[in-house]
A and B are shown apart, each in its own frame.
Chain A
Amino acid sequence: MKDNAAFTSRVLPWLLLLPSFIILLVFIYYPAIQAWVLSLHRSNLFLGTRRFVGFDNFTFMFTGTLSAKYIQVVVQTFAYGALVVGLGLAISVVLATLASQDIRGARIYRLLLIWPFALSPAVAGTIFLFMFNPDIGSVNEVLDALFGIKPRWLDTPYLAFSLVVIASVWKNLGYNIVFYLAALQNVPKELNEAAAIDGAGPIQRFFRITFPMLSPMTFFLLFTNLTFAFFESFGLIDIVTKGGPVGPEPFDAAGLTTTMIYQVTLDGFGGSGNTGIAAALGNIILLFTAIITVLQFRYGSRRVQYGDN
């Protein structure tokens, strides 16, 4: 019986990895390559046609008559992503920290905060759609009673955008809080106690001790929240605003809540089934995500402290 854990056989490691490779190949790499190939063709879902056109799909989107629309969609997606990530993580870390304190009922608070973490975007969207219905929703009833105003959440462009952001942030709170609560367990209590003895206030303690120690988790959640904003926001947007009201100038070339992934479905499945353009836009989302991830790893990872200095 050998003590060292390295594999002696050369083939065995590859055999053990094979199932994972097959799944990755069939469900991730092959479709991704097909999407790249498709984006270089003029392809239509209904006609079943497919003709190689090089980068025509990309130029169609970003130069020419429709460029205002697609550029607006890209800008909106970034704005939406930044807000969802920024607000989402900020609120989550505060709530998780508060719920980690040694107070009565902390366990119940933690449970209630974690509860909605597995909600699908569609369900979250439906909840918010009903709550924020301008005529019969509960939010407007309360606002009417308190302030006498009934904002038109669904047809005023900026309000609709805010609603979608709020719904997305709320949907991700459960998920973010679960991870932050776990990460907070790893923050040694002694550090906080020592700082308190030295006279640091709670806010100082939070920013100087807790938050830096949470940075690995923040780094991870930044990435997952960004993935949600770029790829998974479709369900929520489809339920709440369907791409949303067209904004005022200069945001009047597309619905204000149309993110890139929503535009992908509008192009590919909404009208005449132009799957070539949908694939092209989908690949652009992938490109942006890749760039952001690279930047994040390069600059962000320097700031991550893994707690053992």
Chain B
Amino acid sequence: MKRILTLALVALLSMATAQTTIEFWYAFSDAPRSGWIDDRIAEFNEQLAEQGLDYEVTGERKGSYRETLQAAVLAARQGNPPHLVQLFEVGSQLAVDSGIFKPIGEVGGIDESAYIEPVINYYTIEGEVNSIPFNSSSPILYANMQLMEEAGLDPNALPGTFGEVLDACEAIDAAGLDANCITFPLHGWFFEQWMSEQNALLANNGNGRDARATEMLLNSEAGLRIGQFMADLAAGGYYSYTGTFEDWSGSEAIFGNQESVFFITSTADAGNITRAAADVGFDVKTGLLPIPDGVDRNGVVIGGASVWLTEGHSDEELEVARDFVLYMTNAENMVSWHKLTGYYPVVNASVDLLEEEGWFEAEPNFAVAFDQLLDTKANQASAGALLGIFGEVRTIVEEALQRIYNGADVEESMNQANEEANARLAEYNANF
């Protein structure tokens, strides 16, 4: 009897001190980035304790971006959603359509003007801010300075157009280097960026932002130029990759092992790449994303991810969750995040802090991506597309580029891709 009473007392006490857990699901698996997030969570929990609030934030790595979205949706359908989910940018339409997320605009309490304009614009759908930008990036060109010199190229004059890249590749070929000219992951993301740079829409209805997109525009002239670049690279044997789609680490390894002179990838890897290169013993210089010749540089689309709040929680819990994200993305934290990774500091105040300490002069490699972002013209092309079938579109584009790389006709391949994407889009839209 006494034992039962003791147990009951313990149970009651533990319930009384039970904290409400705020769950944050994110998608970084490498130690530096997930460690950084865990540190911020710990700091915020200390703040909560100091303020005497009965909440605790926990973070959980859920796998890739796609897996994180699926896990969140499944959890929500079972009635147990996490409070905060990190979703990739192209999952935005799916997130909105799924109905399990609560736009941050409804929760309130965030100052939109604090964020860099192109970044917050991406996540503003029909006038309402849906999610808080966290890690935003764009592609840039990385170059191995030593190999460039060996090939007789000026390491301070990186190629800025497709034509200049091909010329550089010829020079590298002629110099008889062991290394290939250029590598980049075979990923639809780069196609989207090159479309934006040409001020070309990916889909109709204003890239899906004026109204739900009903037709894809992959085989427009802008799209064909990109396909032609792939064909030219293949013809000269200038491009190398691991053979698998979306293999970021594979291409990074190719560049890191000095098997390629140029590398196009996200600015979010600038930190990792520069450090790895220093270990191996070569210097890295970054430049703007090379674009088709004869095109006015329009700018890049925001890549990366943002943090969404889910429905099904009390207002109080959501406010604590929102406060955590605001803490994680405050000025100082975004400065340290940028320095660690290379992702943009999404808050204007961080940009000011970095400029004050002369960061961009000291680290020109990080500044390039930033300038590229700030010079982006604000239009529908650079706002990025909103598509529910973005996942499939990326695979379709990757398959098309691979067909072209293997020798298929550029126009036929892109037409085939566009038809396929249209069929998928029609199937998805039939849900509404």
Contacts and interface: CB of A to CB of B under 8 A. Distances in A.
B258 interface: no
Interface in B391-432: 391-392, 395, 399, 402-403, 406-408, 416, 419-420, 422-424, 427-428, 430-431
Contact of A272 (B403, B406, B416, B428): B428
Interface residues of A, number: 39
A192 B115 CA distance: 84
A242 interface: yes
A248 interface: yes
Contacts of B241: 155
Contacts, number: 96
Nearest to A240: B244
Contacts of A269: 66, 70
A44 B431 contact: yes
The 7 A-B pairs at the shortest CB distance, nearest first, are namely A155-B243, A271-B391, A271-B392, A154-B243, A65-B423, A46-B98, A272-B389
B73 A45 contact: yes
A157 B431 contact: no
B395 A271 contact: yes
Given A46-B94, A64-B423, 12 more contacts: A46-B69, A46-B70, A47-B97, A65-B422, A66-B423, A155-B241, A242-B244, A242-B245, A245-B402, A248-B407, A254-B399, A272-B390
A272 B416 CA distance: 20
A154 B242 contact: yes
A270 interface: yes
B259 interface: yes
B388 interface: yes
A124 B373 CA distance: 44
Given A66-B423, A152-B243, A47 B399 contact: no
A66 B427 CA distance: 11
Q: State the majority secondary structure of interface residues on B.
A: helix
A71 to B, nearest CB: 14
Contacts of B416: 253
A69 B66 contact: no
Contact of A65 (B390, B407, B419): B419
B423 to A, nearest CB: 4
Interface string B294-325: 00000000000000000000000000000000
Contact of B392 (A134, A248, A249, A272): A272
29 contacts: A46-B69, A46-B70, A46-B73, A46-B98, A47-B98, A48-B73, A48-B77, A48-B98, A65-B419, A65-B420, A65-B422, A66-B424, A154-B243, A157-B406, A245-B402, A245-B406, A246-B399, A246-B402, A246-B403, A248-B406, A253-B416, A269-B66, A269-B70, A271-B395, A272-B388, A272-B391, A273-B70, A274-B427, A274-B428
B99 interface: yes
A252 B431 contact: no
Contacts of A246: 399, 402-403, 406
A269 B391 CA distance: 10
A92 interface: no
B244 A241 contact: yes
B423 A154 contact: no
Interface string B240-260: 011111000000000000010
A45 B70 contact: yes
A252 B392 contact: no
